[in-house]
Amino acid sequence: AATVVVEETIQELEMGADGRATIIACFQRFCRLLGARGLSDQDASTAREIEGLAVRTFSLSREASASLTSLFEEARYSVHPLGEVDRDRAIEDLRRIQAALEA
């Protein structure tokens, strides 16, 4: 299920979907996956706490997940537009996460 979330998000970003909305949606999907594994109280958790759960639960690269979480925080809490550089960064982080999931 996690690999599907990552692959779908990569495809959406490559097809030109809104970077901000897509990154936020990806993070929300990971929260649902964690919830399905019995890890709850995510509404009260910070993005970094959820990242830590995801790293431990899915054996993700801490570096890639930290970078993607930073981008999520920027997408969620900033008002400036996210551009092509941000989209490329998200795709790169997601590919590294995908490799860890498939290993």
Residue 37 pLDDT grade (very low, low, confident, very high; cuts 50, 70, 90): confident
Residue 91 pLDDT grade (very low, low, confident, very high; cuts 50, 70, 90): very high
- pLDDT at residue 40 is higher than 70: no
**Contact yes or no for 62/14 (Cβ under 8 A):** no
**Domain assignment of residue 21, given as a range:** 2-102
**Contact yes or no for 13/19 (Cβ under 8 A):** yes
Per-residue pLDDT, 73: 95
The model's pLDDT over 43-64, given as tens digits with 9 standing for 90+, comes to 558 889 888 888 888 888 899 8
Number of domains in the chain: 1
Per-residue pLDDT, 29: 86
Helices (H), the chain: 2-14, 19-36, 47-58, 62-77, 84-102
Per-residue pLDDT, 57: 84
Per-residue pLDDT, 72: 93
Question: What share of the chain in percent tops pLDDT 90?
Answer: 49
**Contact yes or no for 54/65 (Cβ under 8 A):** yes
**Contact yes or no for 59/65 (Cβ under 8 A):** no
